[in-house]
Structure 1
Amino acid sequence: MNVLAFAASNSRQSINKQLAHYAASIVSDTVELVDLNDYEMPIYSSDREAQDGIPELAQRLFTKIGQADAVVISFAEHNGSYTAAYKNIFDWMSRINQKVFQNKAMVLLATSPGPGGAKSVLAAATGSAPYFAADVKASFSVPSFYDNFDADTKRIKNTELDAELRAALATLK
């Protein structure tokens, strides 16, 4: 299985990037890890689209989603919602085709340093993804990231949370 994984964040130290990478490694040996920093584009506007068209980087990421068998996204939460970086890239891809996720099997994740585990953005993502042709198999939040994730081994150290994550990821197979 070819899995595409990324954090919906452009932070180079993203805890969601760490979670996405760990989760994808559980699912498959064939994982493509995407960094949203490699897809930075101008802020979407209809005027900009009319003048310049859709950026090539939007097409590249859209194509990568299409080539994957499954997709794992871990959402960072900014003020209870998506990061600006993710939302901008998503908006550009939706101009290629509203079915951004191209009927791919997906597991949606989120984490945060606090006990909420970015559940607000995860709920928004899980609720809206089917409208964009996502086959959401499961969603899972890891609360209190620094208490539950071992930075040295790069894995969840809380055995109950790890088992729950593995069960969510098993839905992709």
Structure 2
Amino acid sequence: MKVLTFGTSNSKNSINKKLAFYAAQQINNADISLIDIHDFEMPIYSVDRETEFGIPQLAHDFYNAIGAADTIVMSFAEYNGSYTSAYKNLFDWTSRIDMKVFQNKPILMLSTSPGPGGAQSVLAAAQASAPYFAATVIAAISLPSFFDNFDLEEGVVTDKTFNQSLLAAISKF
């Protein structure tokens, strides 16, 4: 199974990228393609830019990466209760190619943050809007207090409840 995996932060040390990769590794026989949205930075979307210059190749590359995957594991970072600007911009450009950005792929949506909220606000927003963008959400799981529940040296989640929920979600693929 080809699994596209990413965190929605453009931080080089993204905890959401670490969480998404951990989750993808739990899928049996996964061929994991781990991308960094930092590599997809583009000018801020505007209709004027689109009219003048067209849709950037990086948006096409992201859309094609989604298309090549059998499933997606993504983890949302939360900035001020919402999407990161890097992800929102990438998503906005990609949606101009096709509003069905996720191309009817099954998606495991995750989120985490250093605090106890675990980025649940953005996760709820992403899950609620997913059907409009042709995403089949198999589960949406938040990991609170990342640094208390993730062993950075081993690269594993230590929270048993999260891991049980993750394994239950993965069984749906």
What is the alpha-carbon distance in structure 2 between the residues aligned to residue 170 and residue 15 of structure 1?
24
Q: Identity across aligned pairs (percent)?
A: 57
Q: How many residues align structurally?
A: 172
Amino acid at match of 1:95: R
Normalising by structure 1, report the TM-score: 0.97
User: Secondary structure in 1 aligned to 2:132?
Assistant: helix
Aligned to 2:36: 35
User: Shift of residue 29 of structure 1?
Assistant: 3.1
User: Contact 2:141 / 2:162 at 8 angstroms: preserved in 1?
Assistant: no
Q: What's the secondary structure of 1:92's corresponding residue?
A: helix
Q: Deviations over 1:41-91 (max 9, x none)?
A: 000000000000000000011001011000011000000000000000000
In the TM superposition, structure 1's runs of 4+ consecutive aligned residues that sit over 6 Å from their partners are: none
Could you tell me which residue of structure 2 aligns to residue 57 of structure 1?
A: 58
C-alpha distance in 2, partners of 1:167/1:152? Answer: 25
- For structure 1, the 5+ residue unaligned runs are none
Matched, 1:25 2:25: yes
Secondary structure of the residue aligned to 1:116 is coil
In structure 1, give the amino acid aligned to 2:165: E
SS in 2 for 1:96: coil
CA distance, structure 2, for counterparts of residue 100 and residue 64 of structure 1: 11
Report matched runs for 1:153-172 at 5 Å. 153-172=154-173
Q: Which residue of 1 aligns with 2:8?
A: 8
1:98-128: CA deviations, max 9, x gaps?
0000000001000011111100000000000
- Quote the RMSD (CA, aligned, Å): 0.8
**What's the CA shift for 1:167?**
1.4
What is the distance in 2 between the residues matched to 1:151 and 1:96?
A: 37
Give the 5 Å matches for 1:38-117: 38-117=39-118
Distance across 1 between alignment mates of 2:2 and 2:30: 8
CA–CA distance in 2 between the matches of 1:152 and 1:159? 18
Matched to 1:142, the amino acid is: L
Structure 2 unaligned regions, length at least 5: none
Per-residue Cα deviation, 1:5-58 (whole angstroms, up to 9, x for no partner): 000110111110110110111114300001001111000000000000000000
**SS at 2:26 equivalent:** helix
C-alpha deviation, 1:169, in angstroms: 2.2
Give the structure 2 partner of residue 148 of structure 1: 149
Which secondary structure does the structure 2 equivalent of 1:12 belong to? coil
Q: Which secondary structure state, in structure 1, belongs to the residue aligned with residue 74 of structure 2? A: strand
What amino acid does structure 2 have at the position aligned with 1:3?
A: V
Report what 2:129 is aligned to. 128
SS at match of 2:96: helix
